[in-house]
Amino acid sequence: MDNQAIEKISNELIRAGKDVEREAILSELEQCRITPDKDIPPMQFLFRMFCKPCFPRGELVAIAGKAKSGKTFVSSILMTLCFRKEVLTVERIEEGDLRVLWFDTEQSEESTQDILNHRVLPMIEETESKKSFQRGIRVKKNIQNREESSSSAKRSYSSLEASEEEKEGRRDVRDMLDSSSAKRSYSSLEAIKDEEHEEREFSSLEVSSLWSKLRESFHIFNVRAKFWQERAPLLEAAVSEYKPDLVILDGIRDLVNDINDGVMAQDTIERLMHLAAENRCCIVCILHQNKSLEDKNLRGWIGTELKNKAFEVYECSKDADRIFTWTQTDTRKYDILDKLKYIVGDEGIPQLCTIEKLLESQRNAAFVPTNSSRPPFVEDYVLERNGKNITIDVKKLFTDAIPEGAEMDSTLLQELVMKISNITSSNFYNKQKNRALSEGIICERKTPHGCIMYSRKTEVKKEPPAQGNLFESPGEAPF
């Protein structure tokens, strides 16, 4: 066989190989084709916020904010929702409990455990037994403190006994001991020994009982001590093994070496997108905003990529009165216009912040000079003044507050009406709202999920009666 024939055969084989490779690529591309009748599973959402579905399976969701702005509080609420039907008006859509994976890259092991024991678990526990559960957690810590105090007191008592060499000396020692804090501490600790034993049993039972119910569905890992190259593979392994419905990644920044490395940022986001899609879970990525107070963009190139690819973006903020706000800033589907405001109670548990609390906080925080008074009602909405009594034009007020064709819940309606009119009393506002309802200016409806929605009542325009010729009447001349 000559060289020309060999070359011809080689070219044919190369061409055939290329055709096979091209066919394989085209076949893979065909799987990505979208048509009007393609059978695509409907999107499933885990939660509902202000009656709008949110946090979808198979997608990334971003939670951003400045340092100490409440990002971990929001993630705690989300984890609690997996085991409670409702938390701070946010609802879980599915009836059964969800599986959770908390992947903490930021905090120390002690901090992660502290949040679990003192915030998440008490929030998961049913309301009626929450106080007793929190007492059990506090007892656990108190026991350790008492043991340290007891050891210190016993050492003081022993040292005093050792110094008794003579009878006169023993009397002086007893007098010293009677007046010493060491004896009082030691005696007190001896007296509560039985109580401490009961508290040990109580704490152990409460924590063990709840955790035994959750341990198969709630997986927590702290990987701060790992190198950044190790964290992403560990996360992928955990998701693959435990099949969570919700993944809390706190934070995504620690999966990369340089937040401004574009190639690494794109690779990391794509890996997370594939991980969420393949395992049908929602991966919540927590990331800081830029440090400047005015710049609320997500930090670094990793933040830019995350915002571009995330299904939803939420912002956390905190004002000077320690009122936290949870807001949706970006979404691909359901706009959530309302803001969830909450405060943190003395025991570190988030609590819903009502309009009354907001107004009270604003009044307490604001410096009001002695010669100042509250802002007057906007005169456009005042029909009549009779001394201290004011009659409000409720039709104009509520028509201005509710755009035509719009619907809003009670919180947003109250906030808008009070803002545009300078009404500061919730009781006064409620009277005006009831007037608007009774006079048919606004109407309310209850959604299937129990939310009360308000809208402007549509006025039906009456057609003027048909008029014939004024100078003609049937069977009779005009004159």
Q: How confident is the model at residue 242 (pLDDT cuts 50, 70, 90)?
A: very high
Q: Which two tokens stand for residue 456?
A: 């402007």
- Give the pLDDT confidence score for residue 302 in this predicted structure: 96
Whether the pLDDT of residue 474 is over 50: the answer is no
- Give the pLDDT confidence score for residue 205 in this predicted structure: 56
Whether the pLDDT of residue 234 is over 50: the answer is yes
Q: Which of 50-54, 315-319, 381-385 has the lowest mean pLDDT?
A: 381-385
- Give the pLDDT confidence score for residue 133 in this predicted structure: 52
Q: Is 256 left (phi over 0), alpha (psi -120 to 50) or beta?
A: beta
DSSP code, position 333: S
Looking at every residue in the chain, the average pLDDT score rounds to 80
SS3 state of residue 462: coil
Q: Looking at this protein, which amino acid is placed at residue 206? A: E
Provide the CATH number for the domain formed by 379-456 in this structure: 1.10.10
pLDDT: which is higher, 465 or 439? 439
Tell me how far the alpha carbon of residue 19 is from its chain's centroid: 52
Whether the pLDDT of residue 335 is over 50: the answer is yes
pLDDT per position as a tens digit, 248-269: 999 899 999 999 999 999 999 9
pLDDT per position as a tens digit, 74-130: 999 999 999 999 999 999 999 999 999 999 999 999 999 999 988 999 999 854 344
The mean per-residue pLDDT over the stretch 162-174 comes to: 48
- Round to whole Å and give the CA distance between 309 and 4: 54
pLDDT per position as a tens digit, 355-379: 666 666 655 544 444 444 556 778 8
Residues linked to residue 443 through DSSP beta bridges, in sequence order: 455
- Give the pLDDT confidence score for residue 49 in this predicted structure: 96
CATH of 45-105+223-354, one of 3.40.50.2300, 3.30.360.10, 3.40.50.300, 3.10.20.90: 3.40.50.300
pLDDT: which is higher, 232 or 414? 232
Q: How confident is the model at residue 450 (pLDDT cuts 50, 70, 90)?
A: confident
Question: Distance between terminal CA atoms of the chain?
Answer: 123
**pTM tops 0.75:** no
pLDDT per position as a tens digit, 115-145: 998 899 999 985 434 445 555 555 555 655 6
pLDDT: which is higher, 195 or 76? 76
- Give the pLDDT confidence score for residue 437 in this predicted structure: 93
Whether the pLDDT of residue 35 is over 60: the answer is yes
Q: How confident is the model at residue 4 (pLDDT cuts 50, 70, 90)?
A: confident
Q: Which two tokens stand for residue 10?
A: 């080689």
The mean per-residue pLDDT over the stretch 317-341 comes to: 91
pLDDT: which is higher, 193 or 267? 267
Q: How many CA atoms lie within 13 A of 402 on its CB side?
A: 27
Residues above pLDDT 70, as percent of the chain: 70
pLDDT: which is higher, 202 or 355? 355
Residues linked to residue 452 through DSSP beta bridges, in sequence order: 446
- Give the pLDDT confidence score for residue 314 in this predicted structure: 97
SS3 state of residue 35: coil
Whether the pLDDT of residue 285 is over 50: the answer is yes
Of 50, 118, 67, 123, residue with least CA distance to 318: 67
